Structure 1
Amino acid sequence: MPYLVAAVVLLALITAVNLLLTLGVIRRLREQSSPPHGGHAASDPPAHGLRPGVRPESFTATTTDGERISDSDVHGMVGFFSAHCTPCHTLAPRFAEQAEVMGRDRVIAVIAGTDPELSAVLAPVARVIVEDYDGAVQAAFHNSWTPWVYLLGRDRRVVASGGRMTDLFSEAPA
């Protein structure tokens, strides 16, 4: 019987030490990790692209109308959509309504993959770019999520971003 008690106590001590070491490793990993493309603390919300105050990187792309667009042409609203993405199809009409208010020359819609339905909704009110998921505009914005919308000021810095139109315009300063 004393051997059984000793074995149980030893097993409990080993388990406690293992738990403490595991918690220490988790804490160290949290301190060292940060999301890509921003260098923010691990406690920040996950980033799907550029944060407010940051400009997109240089890029050039061609719209479905054959117009060449570069990062210097971007101010207003930029939306990222994906083919076969149900939330993208839900957001597109709201995006189009806001784009109509802002004016076509201030709005860019980037569609990853081929989606005639999205193009039909967005082309009348936005300059549409169709590219792969790792295309030039996606890379310039470090965009990793769809749908995702950015509001950029005249200085081409991100003013607000989000996955819904209400996120976008509720974050923008008055």
Structure 2
Amino acid sequence: MPFVIAAVVIVGVVSALNLVLTLAVIRRLRHVEEHGGAVTPSLLPVGATIPELAQVGRPAVIGFFDTECDACTAQLQPFLDLARAYTPERVLAVVSGPGDEKYTGRLRDSARVIAEPAGGPVCLAFANSAFPAFYLLDEAGTVRSRAVTVAGLGTPVTA
């Protein structure tokens, strides 16, 4: 009988530990989902000079979108709202993936749009592997702010 009691106690403790770990994983997954699906995105650091390939005027806002990314779809309208603070020549949107027409059509009036396959030259120049990704540049063309959400960029830079 003491062995049965010990076994039940051990199973109870292991089950409680399993529940705590499962709740921690769920919490972490929610955090990842809220931040555009990237925990540690590969973005150019603040203070970096943007690659010559992507110079579109200064200050500038640059956004990277993937057509197969749900977080990108959610960030499209906030990006368009931010783009209104600039002339279209000072906003660059890079769209990767199949079916890019749904993005390019909406972005065309607010930004200069580059549609390229995944791993295209602009994404390579920025070493961009996270989608969505956004950059806010200052007058010198250096990264002032970077984020995986438009809200994470902060306030626009005025000329």
SS in 1 for 2:45: coil
Alignment of 1:109 with 2:93, yes or no, is yes
8 Å CA contact retained: 2:61, 2:136: yes
8 Å CA contact retained: 1:107, 1:126: yes
Alignment of 1:119 with 2:113, yes or no, is no
**Cα deviation code 1:77-127 (max 9, x no counterpart):** 000000121111110011001102222111000001232111122111000
Alignment of 1:57 with 2:51, yes or no, is yes
8 Å CA contact retained: 1:93, 1:121: no
In the TM superposition, residue 52 of structure 1 has moved relative to its aligned partner by 0.5
AA aligned opposite 2:118: Y
Q: How far apart in 2 are the matches of 1:80 and 1:121?
A: 14
Percent same amino acid at aligned positions? 28
Which protein, 1 or 2, shows the higher relative CO under an 8 Å CA cutoff with sep ≥ 6? Answer: 2
Q: TM-score scaled to structure 1, two decimals? A: 0.61
8 Å CA contact retained: 2:134, 2:147: yes
CA RMSD of aligned residues (A): 2.2
Structure 1: segments with no counterpart, 5+ residues = 1-44, 60-69
8 Å CA contact retained: 1:76, 1:151: yes
**Equivalent pairs, count:** 118
* Mapping of residues 43-82 of structure 1, within 5 Å: 46-59=40-53, 70-71=54-55, 73=57, 75-82=59-66
**Cα deviation code 1:21-63 (max 9, x no counterpart):** xxxxxxxxxxxxxxxxxxxxxxxx834220100012232xxxx
Q: TM-score scaled to structure 2, two decimals? A: 0.67
Structure 2: segments with no counterpart, 5+ residues = 1-38
Change (3 A) 1:49 1:157: same
